[in-house]
Amino acid sequence: MIYSTCVFVYCLYECFKQEKTISFFLIALLLLFSVSVTVVYLQWKEPVFHQVMYGALVACLVIRSIYIVTWVYPWLKPLCYTSLGIFMLGFLLWNIDNIFCDSLRSSRETLPPGVGVVTQFHAWWHIFTGLGSYLHILLSLQIRATYLKFRPKVKFQCGVWPTLHMEPQKSS
């Protein structure tokens, strides 16, 4: 989670750079952060530490995303807030599962099998954060493609699944 989120952070903070430019400083900083978190976590074995460090990275993404859709590309607000909202719903369900795990587990034993399945909030965390992350990747691609003067268009496969399609660059 830490390493893949660092890739998200890099892409979102570098989205307004010219083509073929690389920020070695940001790469080194994120790599140092990731390795440090890994080393500390392996020594300390405290899940809350890992969760707080992951939360810090997500906060960087949220702040940068809100800045971009507020000041640079405001027409992307719906996609941004949808991705963040779905991700946060997953995060909320995961925390509910962590806090009430024992009582949820015991209540599942009394529920019919089909109902018990939908109370597996940790599974919903994976589904919602996966979908929220996918939408955020779509947002990041749209930001970068727009900056590079492509004309990205969100199209829906089978009427429900959003994908990004590129039209040729605008001639200057």
Q: Which of 16, 166, 143, 7 is nearest to 79 (CA)?
A: 143
Separation in Å, CA 48 to CA 58, 62, 148, 172: 15, 20, 40, 51
Residue ranges at the known binding site for Zn(2+): 122, 126
pTM metric for this prediction: 0.88
Residue 102 pLDDT level (bands cut at 50, 70, 90): confident
Indicate if the pLDDT at residue 111 is higher than 90.
no
Separation in Å, CA 65 to CA 38, 56, 112, 130, 160: 26, 14, 42, 17, 24
Give domain limits for the chain: 1-70, 73-172
Indicate if the pLDDT at residue 106 is higher than 70.
yes
CA separation for the pair 6, 19 (Å, rounded): 20
The larger pLDDT score, comparing residue 169 to residue 71, is at 71
Average confidence score pLDDT of the chain:
92
Q: What's the token pair of residue 165?
A: 């399609």
